[in-house]
Chains A and B, each alone.
Chain A
Amino acid sequence: MARRRVWRENKGNLMCLAVPGRIISMKKGSAEVDFSGIKRAVSLDLVPAAKKGDYVLVHAGFAIQLLDPGEAVKTLELFKGIFSEGPGDAPQAPAAGKP
Chain B
Amino acid sequence: MKTAARGRFSSPLWRDRALAASALSEIARLAPSAAAKTGGRVNFMEVCGTHTMAIAASGMRGLLPKELRMLSGPGCPVCVTSQGDIDRVLALAAIPGIIITTFGDMLKVKGSKGLDLHSARERGADVRVVYSPLDAVALAAAEPEREVVFIGVGFETTAPVIGGAVVRAKKLGLKNFSSTAFFKLVPPALELLLSDPENKIHGFMLPGHVSAIIGTGPYRFVAEKYRVPCVVTGFEPLDILAGINMLLKQVISGKPRVEDEYFRAVRQDGNPAALKLMREVFSVSAASWRAIGAVKNTGLVFSGAYASFDAVKRFKIKYAEAPEPKGCLCGKILLGKALPSDCRLFGKACTPSNAVGPCMVSSEGACAAWVKYGG
A14 and B258 contact, CB distance less than 8 A: no
Write out the residue numbers on chain B whose beta carbons fall within 8 Å of the beta carbon of A74: 263-264
The interface residues of chain B, by DSSP majority, are classed as helix
A72 and B8 contact, CB distance less than 8 A: yes
Binary interface encoding of chain B residues 255-292 relative to chain A, with 1 for a CB under 8 A from any of its CBs, else 0: 00111110111111001011001000000000000000
Q: How far apart are the CA atoms of A60 and B131 in the complex, in Å?
A: 6
Q: Which residues between 32 and 76 of chain A lie within 8 Å of chain B, taking CB atoms?
A: 34-37, 43, 45-48, 55, 57, 59-62, 64-65, 67-69, 71-76
B260 and A94 contact, CB distance less than 8 A: yes
Write out the residue numbers on chain A whose beta carbons fall within 8 Å of the beta carbon of B204: none
The answer to whether residues A16 and B207 also contact, given A61-B132, A64-B274, A76-B13 and a CB cut-off of 8 A, is yes
B1 to chain A, nearest CB (A): 6
A13 and B103 contact, CB distance less than 8 A: yes
Q: How far apart are the CA atoms of A89 and B364 in the complex, in Å?
A: 36
Q: List 13 A-B contacts (CB under 8 A).
A: A3-B373, A13-B103, A15-B49, A17-B209, A34-B2, A55-B5, A59-B157, A60-B132, A65-B267, A67-B265, A79-B23, A93-B259, A97-B257
Lowest 7 CB-CB distances: which A-B pairs, in order? A61-B132, A96-B216, A96-B260, A20-B9, A97-B258, A71-B264, A7-B57
Contacts from A to B (Cβ < 8 Å): 3-4, 6-7, 10, 12-18, 20-22, 24, 34-37, 43, 45-48, 55, 57, 59-62, 64-65, 67-69, 71-76, 78-80, 82-84, 86-87, 92-97, 99
